[in-house]
Structure 1
């Protein structure tokens, strides 16, 4: 049976500020549902993604900004970084991990520049939304077999 990731909840302090940020990135607004004073759900989808994010009031008990390691896969990290910067996001410089395997949490092990061999899966950049929820761009130019 197929199982597809559909929605990721991100905790925010100010719903309208988050709406403005994600819309500014060019993400598709899918809905803003106000059920009552204590429950509002807002949904946005990154361009080309099948998975959306939701945030709002009464949606999550997690602390605003506590979602980390939210990966956005791109085929051209330079272009994606430039586009996000043009749209107002503060995106890090491109980096790879000293281990040559996978980006760790935080900034430990980061080496400036893309993967020296430009291998798929191994070049990254990062940014945060206004609450500090952490996003990582990962360049994938060729998928592993079976993907």
Structure 2
């Protein structure tokens, strides 16, 4: 695996102190709120919220096990087209176990694959090579699935983090 030199800049406030920024929520466009809620709850994701008001707004939030980031969807939450979000990544420590878990819950999951070009997957499926990474390198084995609206998810196997990652 080629290592890329990082020229990382940290966001700072006026005093020069680092400003913490955490990705906590991803908005998913869905056509049927209750169907999406059932799908993600069936995956074992924690239901954090299901709020509705009289102004024709409903917000549902679920969180994958072990994740600090949640998804939200609902009625009048986003103007994006249902199913238009792709390449959302779920990091797993065992790609086969995660795939088996999803299949047991009725999800259609691709076979495990690795990318012909190396670590990161190419867009689409043309560069997918069947089976896990031959050297079983961390970050190099994948599987994919979609929710009922077509929002696309990728499972990425990470067994050893790159330096500086928790």
Residue correspondence of structure 1 range 69-84 to structure 2 within 5 A: 69-84=87-102
Deviation at 1:127, TM superposition (A): 0.2
1:48-80 deviation line (CA, Å, top 9, x unaligned): 000000000000100000000000000000000
SS of residue matched to 2:97: helix
Q: Distance in 1 between matches of 2:40 and 2:119?
A: 29
Deviation at 1:101, TM superposition (A): 2.2
Deviation at 1:105, TM superposition (A): 2.1
Q: Show structure 1 runs of 5+ residues with no match.
A: none
Q: Are 1:91 and 2:91 counterparts?
A: no
Q: Are 1:117 and 2:138 counterparts?
A: no
Q: Distance in 2 between matches of 1:37 and 1:89?
A: 34
Q: Distance in 1 between matches of 2:137 and 2:129?
A: 15
Partner of 1:16: 34
RMSD of aligned residue pairs (Cα, Å):
0.8
Q: Distance in 1 between matches of 2:123 and 2:26?
A: 18
**Bigger CA radius of gyration:** 2
CA contact (8 A) 1:64 1:132 kept: yes
Q: Distance in 1 between matches of 2:107 and 2:63?
A: 16
Q: How many residues align?
A: 147
Q: Distance in 2 between matches of 1:38 and 1:106?
A: 36
Structure 1 runs, 4 residues or longer, greater than 2 Å off: none
TM-score, reference length from structure 1? 0.98
Q: Distance in 2 between matches of 1:101 and 1:57?
A: 37
More strand by share: 1
Q: Distance in 1 between matches of 2:151 and 2:48?
A: 20
RCO higher in structure (CA 8 A, sep ≥6) = 1
Alignment counterpart, residue 120 of structure 2, candidates 83, 90, 102: 102
